[in-house]
């Protein structure tokens, strides 16, 4: 199925083709190739509004995921009709991520791919509120990023290393 990618900000240039390819590989690594996913590159203003409205944290952030289905971590949705083949939407806070990358010296495009992997895991029910949940999500992120690393020669690691 498709990855619908929209750049809804102008603060930071985003190379959409590599990001779309990475998300397609990550989605396949999760066994979810048959599902559509929306990917929105957002600026700080939009991320702050969404984070405030949905998480009661009125500040910009790196990623917000809005799943179409409610599933247990590790399970794929069970669509009943064609319109249900949708994982949901991921908002990448590219302005926030870019600022963090400039401060740390990390590669912006690599961090975008890792952040998208994190968002995809959230769409499939993974969470990191407790140590056991974090361990499960972290392991899944390692697994899917290893697939992307093999195909691209990169050495990407999950965002949440050392969270607990």
Mean pLDDT by runs of 10 across the 164 residues of the chain is 94 96 97 97 98 97 97 95 96 98 95 97 96 95 97 89 71
Number of domains in the chain: 1
Answer yes or no: is 160 within a domain.
no
Residue-level pLDDT at 65: 98
Answer yes or no: is 159 within a domain.
no
Residue-level pLDDT at 132: 94
Answer yes or no: is 148 within a domain.
yes
Sheet order of strands, 3-7 included: 3-7, 36-42, 86-93, 63-67
Q: Say which CATH number the domain at 107 has.
A: 3.40.390.30
Answer yes or no: is 158 within a domain.
no
Residue-level pLDDT at 151: 93
pTM: 0.96
Tell me which residue range forms the domain holding 145. Answer: 3-152
Answer yes or no: is 141 within a domain.
yes
């Amino acid at each position: 199925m498709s990855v619908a990618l929209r750049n809804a900000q102008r603060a930071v240039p985003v190379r959409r083709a590599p990001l779309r390819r990475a998300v397609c590989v990550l989605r396949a690594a999760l066994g979810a190739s048959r599902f559509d996913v929306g990917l929105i590159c957002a600026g700080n203003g939009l991320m702050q509004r969404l984070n405030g409205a949905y998480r009661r944290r009125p500040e910009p952030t790196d990623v917000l995921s809005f799943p179409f289905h409610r599933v247990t971590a590790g399970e794929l949705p069970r669509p009943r009709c064609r319109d249900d083949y949708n994982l949901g939407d991921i908002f990448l806070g590219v302005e926030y991520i870019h600022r963090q990358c400039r401060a740390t010296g990390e590669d912006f495009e690599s961090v975008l791919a890792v952040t998208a992997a994190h968002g995809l895991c959230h769409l499939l029910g993974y969470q990191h509120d407790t140590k056991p949940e974090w361990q499960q999500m972290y392991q899944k992120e390692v697994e899917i990023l290893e697939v992307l690393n093999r195909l691209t020669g990169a050495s990407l690691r999950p965002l949440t290393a050392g969270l607990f």
